Amino acid sequence: MAILELDRLTVAGDRGDIITGLTFSIDEGETAVMIGGSGSGKSMTARAVLGILPDGLRASGDVRFHGESVFHMPTERRRTYLGRGTGIVFQDSFGTFDPIRTIRQHFTELFSVHLGLKGKDADRRALYWIGRAGILDPVRVAAAYPHELSGGMRQRIQIALAASLEPELLIADEPTTALDLNIQDAILELLKEWKKETGGTLLLITHDLGVAREMADRMLVMDNGRLVEDGPARQLFTAPRSRAAMQLTDDWRTVGGAPPADKAASPSHLLDVSGLSMSYRTGGLFKKREVRALDEVSLSIGSGEIVGLIGESGGGKSTLARLLAGIEPARAGAISWHGTRNWPDAVQWVHQDPAASFNPGWTAGRLVAEGLEYRGTRRTERERTARHLLSEVGLPSETAQQYPGELSGGMNQRLALARTLAVSAELVVLDEPFASLDMSTQAKMIRLIRSLRDREGTAFLFITHDIRAAFALCSRIYVIRQGQIEDHGSPAELAASENPYTKSLLEHVPGRGVDLCNNGGGVL
Amino acid sequence: MALFLLKRVAESAFVLVLGSLLCFAFIQLIPGDPAAAMYGDQLQKLTEADRLRISENLGLDEPVPVQYIHWASQVLQGNWGASYLTGEPADEVIVRTLLPTAVLLMASQVLMIGLALFFGLTSALRRDGLYDRIVLAASVLLMAIPPFWLGLMMMLFFSIRLGVLPSSGMGAGPFSISHLILPALVIALSHAGYYIRLFRNHFAASSMGGHLLALRARGVPHRRIVIAHILPNAAAPLIVYTGASLAVSLAGSVVVETIFSWPGLGRLALKSALAHDYPVLLGIILLSMAFVILVNLLASLLAAWMDPRLRGSGAEGRNGQ
């Protein structure tokens, strides 16, 4: 029995169609995963199904829930459909909460609107559902405000909010993106649990084939606003038919594969860090507390080497990046530099969200050559360099006239890399460069970083919580935890490591069971 | 919350002391002689020795810091000094003007906040439409008009041309509506333009949050979203601005009360400043300052009570992952 049917659903804006002629249906009790790159129309499909399209977009065709047209429901019926028929979990867990309401109030509002439940009954029910989401102290969390909870906690609460009205269909739109891997894992477990207990239907939207593989009964592949492949999950891996699906599995191999062996096996030392420590003071009027961010960290990076630094949020990764880039002085320890130019001039730092680190009023061309302006290079010279560097990182030459706001996340990452080339950096520190990129863009970035290393001999320190990408890109990886280096070695060595923390990190990689060190071929 | 409260109260007390010190110092810089206030036209008959004797009697021959300490300790004991003009205790002179000014301020605040709430919310909900643009143009025009000119024009039109409203005075008392309308309206209108813009932008910002989309997706009715989510989210900053607006209106009352001969604090302030009536002037300034600080303190406490993010002490308020 189909619970949700889409019949030639088209969403049109002023600049043309965003979704074109989407037709598929989802059966009761099924887990369908909709996969595709950013801008392929996945999230817009979810919004169209719920009838909450942004202003200025029009939907045509039809969406039917249990055979009833969603677009023609009267207001009261629609409200029931939204609350009790379907539930939604969004990606951005912070922005979807009202900042001045407690978690409890988020629940009781829904209970009062949809179930007519008020007072103590509603409170009890809220506590019950917060507990169901795997939260150990529901009473404290119920009284908390959204900003007092971690991203993973908020995502659990979002799922509990959606589940608390006992919907038949749960739509989860990128529910795990930008979360640490172990938290991603816990969120996926929670969704599985929900399904097992209620027998409900799940529509999961993701760009990550690992997540898809772990959850899906059925895969819907989106490309450029169209459904290009619809079939059982296994088929996508064994016999993809569409070009987009083949591209996805190909990118997955790049992201999930292992790096080709380094040509220079023992590169000369570029940077040695020994006994680096850093602490911050926090606290209020009466007591000051010292938080140790880094504790006696030692590591080395060779010239032309790609080194990874992995670990969970709050482990000290970003602090180390700031110290290496010379943004802050360390409390103790030494950084010794053997490169041809002075430290930290030759070290460049690429911000996690590069667009946020650019002057939005400058064109891409000027941004790329910004470093040369400070060196007093002439303007015509700078423009020539900018054009050359944009092509080096695979951006079309007309990008030079565009502004950062007009470029996609992947293009801005490329722009940031081009900036480091302009000042011929010897070491580039990449701070979570893939956090907001979809899988295909990640695969392209991995190829670009490798080719830059080969051509320019630039060394990279790749800081990430995404273990899969680190394994794919780096020749050596450091594991950091609570400010201390916990483990260290080549990807193959780490995969076989006995260190309990490394082991637990690797366990949470989505789509695990995939051989991380298998070079390219056998994803399955 | 207790720490937040303590910090805020301590800050307020500090500002009050510092402010009174500054005012005391600046008043000494006003050119002219207090003796002129006391003796008026007979000043010409006084000899140099008489003037010095008067100064000494008033304590004006002492160094300024000594004068300040003397004055401050007297004020703390409830002795505000005597008016140089009338010889009455300064506090009695001031207290007489409080009720008329309070009535005028309340009336103008209610008018102004009412206008700002109504036009701010309605134009935020119709963002970028024709209505929004008309309201924008009108509020910019209001911002550009100086209150004394607006006061004179309204007086000309309503009192002289139409003859429907009295042009000056308070009539039977501070609650005489017909006398109150014009001055209250002038104060309200001269600040309304700014506040309409401010309220509109806050409402617009708070009606764009991602949580409103989530609420729609969970089937919460539109009316409830506006009343229970958009309004409360905009309320905290608006309460703070409303507190600040009282200070602005109080300052504006000097001009408006003088134009409309409203026997309030503002007019008394101008009169005593022109006449070098230091005890009264200092009393007015100190009182106004305490009032403004108190209102702002209450406003920020109320805002913190409404918005948990404002209570932050250190680690809170961050989007921790």
Residue A274 inside a domain? The answer is: no
Among candidates A145, A147, A284 on the partner chain, residue whose Cβ is nearest the Cβ of B313: A284
Residue pair A294/A323 in contact by the 8 Å Cβ criterion: yes
In this prediction, residues A195-212 reach a mean pLDDT of 90
Structure letter (DSSP) for residue A514: B
Minimal C-alpha gap between A26 and chain B (Å): 20
Q: State yes or no: pLDDT of A220 exceeds 90.
A: yes
- CA distances, A417 to each of A369, A470, B62 (Å): 12, 18, 71
Interatomic CA distance for residues A271 and A347, integer angstroms: 10
Interface residue A175 vs chain B (CB under 8 A)? no
Q: Report pLDDT digits (tens) over B211-243.
A: 888 898 898 998 888 888 888 888 888 888 888
Query: Would you call A96 and B213 a contact, using CB atoms and an 8 Å cutoff?
Result: yes
| pLDDT band at residue A81 using 50, 70 and 90 as cut-offs | very high
Q: State CA A330 to chain mean position distance.
A: 30
* Band (A522; pLDDT cuts 50, 70, 90): very low
* Chain A contact set for B7 (CB, 8 A): 285
Q: How many CA atoms lie within 13 A of A493 on its CB side?
A: 10
Domain annotation covers residue A347: no
pLDDT for the residue numbered B35: 66
Q: What is the DSSP string of B68-128?
A: HHHHHHHHHTT---B-TTT-SBHHHHHHHHHHHHHHHHHHHHHHHHHHHHHHHHHHHHTTT
Is B37 among the domain residues? no
The answer to the question of residue A272 being in a domain is no
> Which range marks the domain in which residue B109 is found?
96-263
* Host domain of residue A233: 2-100+145-254
Q: What's chain B's Rg over C-alpha atoms?
A: 24
Nearest to A267 by CA among A426, A419, A430: A426
Mean pLDDT (whole number) for B154-169: 83
Does any domain span residue A39?
yes
* Mutation site for B-interface testing, chosen from A55, A89, A100, A174 by largest number of B Cβ within 10 Å: A100
Nearest to A151 among B229, B313, B321 (CB): B321
Q: How many residues does chain B have?
A: 321
* Amino acid B317: pLDDT: 35
Q: A171: pLDDT confidence band, cut at 50, 70 and 90? A: very high
| Structural domains in chain B (count) | 1
Q: Is residue A413 part of a domain?
A: no
Beta strands in A47-106 (DSSP E): 58-65, 68-69, 86-89
Chain A nearest-CA residue for B308: A100
Domain CATH code at residue A166:
3.40.50.300
B27: in domain: no
Grade residue A519 by pLDDT with cuts at 50, 70 and 90. Answer: very low
CA separation, residue A115 to residues A80, A106, A110, A400, B54 (Å): 10, 14, 8, 56, 81
What is the pLDDT averaged over residues A129-145? 89
Percentage of residues in chain B with pLDDT exceeding 90? 5
**Among residues 423-482 of chain A, which lie with CB inside 8 Å of chain B?**
none
Q: Between A159 and B29, whose confidence is greater?
A: A159
| Mean pLDDT confidence for A433-452 | 84
Q: Span B274-285, mean pLDDT? A: 84
Residue A336 inside a domain? The answer is no
Query: pLDDT (tens digit, 9 = 90+) per residue, A271-290?
Result: 898 888 888 776 555 556 67
Q: Which residue of B has its CA nearest to A171?
A: B217
Q: What is the DSSP letter of A199?
A: -
In A, residues 293-332, which contact B (CB 8 Å cutoff)? 313
Chain-chain contact of B218 with A88 (C-beta, under 8 angstroms): yes
Between B137-141, B191-195, B297-301, the lowest mean confidence (pLDDT) is in: B297-301
CATH of the domain at B257: 1.10.3720.10
Cα separation, A451 vs A440, whole angstroms? 17
Tell me if B161 is assigned to some domain.
yes
Per-residue tokens: B54? 């008067």
* Binary contact (B218, A161; C-beta < 8 A): yes
pLDDT at B243: 83
Residue B7 lies in a domain: no
Cβ–Cβ < 8 Å for B215, A162: no
Is the minimum CB–CB distance between B126 and chain A shorter than 8 Å?
no
Specify the number of domains making up chain A: 1
A-B contacts at Cβ under 8 angstroms: 95
A460 confidence band (pLDDT: 50, 70, 90): very high
Q: Is the pLDDT of residue A138 over 80?
A: yes
Any domain includes A285: no
- Say if B33 falls within a structural domain: no
Kindly report, residue by residue over B43-75, the tens digit of the pLDDT: 677 777 777 777 777 777 777 788 888 888 888
